[in-house]
Structure 1
Amino acid sequence: MLSFLVRRLLSGIAMLAVISTLAYLLMFMTGTDIARNLLGQNASEEAVAARAAQLGLDQPLLTRYVDWVSGALHGDLGTSWFSSVPVTELVGQRLGVTLSLVFLSTFFAALVAVIVGVIAAVHRGWIDRGLQVGSIVGAAIPNYLVALVLVIVLAIQLKWFEPTGYTRPQDSISGWLMSITLPVLALVVTTVAGVAQQVRGSLIDALRQDYVRTLRSRGLPEWRVVLLHALRNAAGPALSVLALLFVGLLGGAVIIEQLFAIPGAGSLAISSTSQGDIPVVMGLVVAIAVIVLVVNLVIDILQGWFNPKVRIS
């Protein structure tokens, strides 16, 4: 198991190095005059040159990259060129909002998907057929359209929620829950059927195995056979889908945050990219890449625990 973890960790570090390198090079290879964009088109040449020297833009690209990597390895991702706020502080604040939204959406989507998927696999019928239709419809309808429908029905017509806005949990737990309910629903509705379909298919395959017939012949209750044995063996493919679900929700949260005026990483990424605030953009790229790699590592560990064959492969 230790060698399995070491291999996964080393591959994750290599992937992070590749992602950060490509992102950094692409940021500075656009051909735009960053210093002039920061000061405005009416700035004098002297002011632009002074600003470029202040930001180190007059140095060779390789030198700038080595300096950035050196700082990143020590936990210093630089300072925002616009707000002069440390990137780690700025990204940490915004990313925390996004992660709360994504983790809640992933949790509820996985919970509902497992329940529905198990019922559909054990009791074939209208639930099974409805799940197959729902997975197709959920994949076809974009989450922002679902969000607009939720706002119109639940917020504007029924007035159960505020249509936009965000309340921090430290200010009010109830207000925070009310402010993220509609965004979470919008993300869950469009993804839960697809995950439930995967759980259903994996569980049906597991229930057809010889060990399940052996357990039933020994007189074990059906709920124990399904939940304690078959579901565990069916968890591998479902966990892979769960990792993809998390990454997909992380990307989908960008649009949802804009619709509900949530001050998360999505709005920060859009504003920083449009302004040319490269330290903030790079901080977001590294932070999101680390999160995705950690989630994949956790999924790999869980799969190795559920299925020892994964560790061998």
Structure 2
Amino acid sequence: MCPRHAFSLVTFLIQSLIPGDPAAAILGPNGTPDQYEELRRSMHLDQPVLAQYGNYMAGVLRGDLGRSLFNQEPVAHSLAARLPVTLSLLVLSLVVVAVVGTALGVASVAAGGRTARAVDALSLLGLALPNFWIALVLVSVFAVAIPLFPAVGYVSFVDSPNAWATALVLPVTALAIGGLATVAKVARDGVSTAMESDYTRTLRACGISRRSLLWRHALKNSGVGIATVLGIAFIGALSGSVFVETVFALPGLGSLVVEATARHDIPVIQGVALAFTLIVIVVNLVVDLSYAWFNPKIRAS
């Protein structure tokens, strides 16, 4: 069984163990026993769990992700409507993590002393603070006490690029802080090690400036480690996006899976799990391909 199918099976089995009944939730307290049983049969909820999973996978292999148990909307349509929001949040947070984290790491090597210790402290603080707590603090400070940014909501980039960017400032910040601290620490350690290597001392003896050594040579030599951490940070942001989207009321995949879990809407949960799995596969592929750019030896092998 391939990892993608194994993940979908585990997700399906775990979801089946969560207390709740979609048929009872749809009918409410006024539904009769006959209506309840008929609805369960129509949604195939009266079948064994493995039989339900088999029906689901048969549909997936045909390109059909099923329909929501509550509003009968095709799961593929729900994913297509929500995916741009989640991707906007994840991609922007990755850009912030990569640019700001790497810059902080290299700057700490250039400055040394207190700056290096400050990066270490930032790394520990960023890893210790959960995303949802950071999100609540950001809302309290920059949306309530100092109303610079909206506390909730999302505007499509097509409708208004400025409103789109403004609405994502606080969510992206909340999601990026943990990964930013980690990347800064890894970049600092990698560049610091590269600056002490033999080839760097040779370049310095040839008259190459320290600035060029830091940003052109030592940083690229540390690229494999930084790319690896960026991939891990991106994947970790997938779980963080669930909490961040809930706090900021963003209509993305994270909030969709929270709603579906509360309603025991298995097809929607499976669809989101499949989308997240594909994102993880693509990110890992991009990280692996980046190794060849940072290290020519990998291309030659």
Establish whether TM, by shorter chain, passes 0.5: yes
| Cross-structure match for 2:282 | 294
Deviation string, structure 1 residues 135-186 (Cα, Å, up to 9, x no partner): 1122222233332332233222332222222222222111111111111122
Give 5+ residue unaligned stretches, structure 1.
1-12
Deviation string, structure 1 residues 78-135 (Cα, Å, up to 9, x no partner): 0111111110110222222112111101111210011111111233122111111111
Deviation string, structure 1 residues 42-65 (Cα, Å, up to 9, x no partner): 422321222122122344444432
1:307 equivalent to 2:301? Answer no
| Cross-structure match for 2:10 | 22
| Cross-structure match for 1:226 | 214
| Percent identity for Structure 1 against Structure 2 | 38
1:138 aligned counterpart, secondary structure: helix
| Cross-structure match for 2:113 | 125
* Contact in 2 for aligned 1:38/1:276 (Cα 8 Å): no
| Cross-structure match for 1:161 | 149
Q: Which of 71, 94, 110 is 1:106 aligned to?
A: 94
Number of residue pairs aligned between Structure 1 and Structure 2: 301
Q: Which of 147, 158, 180 is 1:170 aligned to?
A: 158
Backbone CA RMSD of aligned residues: 2.3
Give 5+ residue unaligned stretches, structure 2.
none
- Counterpart CA distance in 2 for 1:305 and 1:202 is 17
Q: Which of 17, 26, 36 is 1:48 aligned to?
A: 36
Q: Structure 1: which amino acid aligns with 2:11?
A: A
- Counterpart CA distance in 2 for 1:176 and 1:279 is 30
- Counterpart CA distance in 2 for 1:305 and 1:16 is 28
| Offset of residue 305 of structure 1 | 3.3
Q: Structure 2: which amino acid aligns with 1:93?
A: A
| Offset of residue 207 of structure 1 | 1.8
- Counterpart CA distance in 1 for 2:298 and 2:133 is 39
Q: Which of 65-74 and 22-31 deviates more? A: 22-31
Residue 197 and residue 31 in structure 1: after superposition, are their counterparts in 2 closer, same or farther (change >3 A)?
closer
Residue 275 and residue 311 in structure 1: after superposition, are their counterparts in 2 closer, same or farther (change >3 A)?
farther
| Offset of residue 234 of structure 1 | 0.6
* Contact in 1 for aligned 2:179/2:230 (Cα 8 Å): no
Q: Which of 277-286 and 46-55 deviates more? A: 46-55
Q: Which of 127, 133, 140 is 2:128 aligned to?
A: 140
Residue 164 and residue 60 in structure 1: after superposition, are their counterparts in 2 closer, same or farther (change >3 A)?
closer
* Contact in 1 for aligned 2:152/2:167 (Cα 8 Å): yes
| Cross-structure match for 1:184 | 172
Deviation string, structure 1 residues 167-210 (Cα, Å, up to 9, x no partner): 22222111111111111122233432221011100111122222
- Counterpart CA distance in 2 for 1:178 and 1:30 is 38
Q: Which of 43, 55, 65 is 1:77 aligned to?
A: 65
Residue 288 and residue 312 in structure 1: after superposition, are their counterparts in 2 closer, same or farther (change >3 A)?
farther
Q: Which of 27-36 and 277-286 deviates more? A: 27-36
* Contact in 2 for aligned 1:112/1:192 (Cα 8 Å): yes
| Offset of residue 245 of structure 1 | 0.9
Residue 31 and residue 310 in structure 1: after superposition, are their counterparts in 2 closer, same or farther (change >3 A)?
farther
Q: Structure 2: which amino acid aligns with 1:247?
A: I
Q: Which of 245, 249, 256 is 1:268 aligned to?
A: 256
Q: Structure 2: which amino acid aligns with 1:74?
A: R
Q: Structure 2: which amino acid aligns with 1:89?
A: H
| Cross-structure match for 1:9 | none
Q: Which of 229, 246, 255 is 1:258 aligned to?
A: 246
Q: Structure 2: which amino acid aligns with 1:250?
A: L
- Counterpart CA distance in 2 for 1:26 and 1:63 is 15
